[in-house]
Amino acid sequence: MVWMRRMFIAFPFIIAATLTVLMSTVSRVHAQRVSGYGFLFGAPWAWLLDRGWLGNVHSRCVEALIAYTLLLWIPALLYSACLWLLLRGFEFLAHRN
Residue range of the domain that includes 25 = 2-96
What's the pTM?
0.78
27: left (phi over 0), alpha (psi -120 to 50) or beta: beta
Q: What is the pLDDT along the chain (97 residues), one digit of tens a residue?
A: 788 888 999 999 999 999 888 888 887 777 778 778 888 888 887 777 776 766 777 788 888 787 788 788 889 999 999 999 999 999 899 888 6
Instruction: Quote the number of domains for the chain.
Output: 1
Distance, in Å, from the CA atom of 14 to the CA atom of 97, rounded to the nearest integer, reads 34
Distances (CA, A) of 35 to 21, 23, 25, 29, 96: 11, 7, 12, 11, 44
